[in-house]
Amino acid sequence: MLLETYTLEIFKSKCQSDARGVHCFAHLDQDVEQALPYLNSVLGGFEYLKDPPAVTFRAQGKQEIV
């Protein structure tokens, strides 16, 4: 399985207009459901859900959902 294309969305917080950080979403064009358990175990996911398929990671104390 290769990730061939994606769309990157970067934006400032809608709730905190004075925030210095940004949010980033990568919209994937391929199905990566089978890779999620591997990513969870290798990258140390915080939470793994089978239905709907999702992995939550924490970066600097904040949740990141894949």
Domain locations in the chain? 32-66
- Residues 6 or more apart in contact with residue 61 via CB below 8 angstroms: none
Q: What is the pTM of this model?
A: 0.57
Q: What is the pLDDT of residues 2-58, one digit of tens each?
A: 788 999 998 887 777 777 777 777 888 998 888 888 888 888 777 888 888 888 777
Residue among 10, 55, 62, 57 nearest 36 (CA): 55
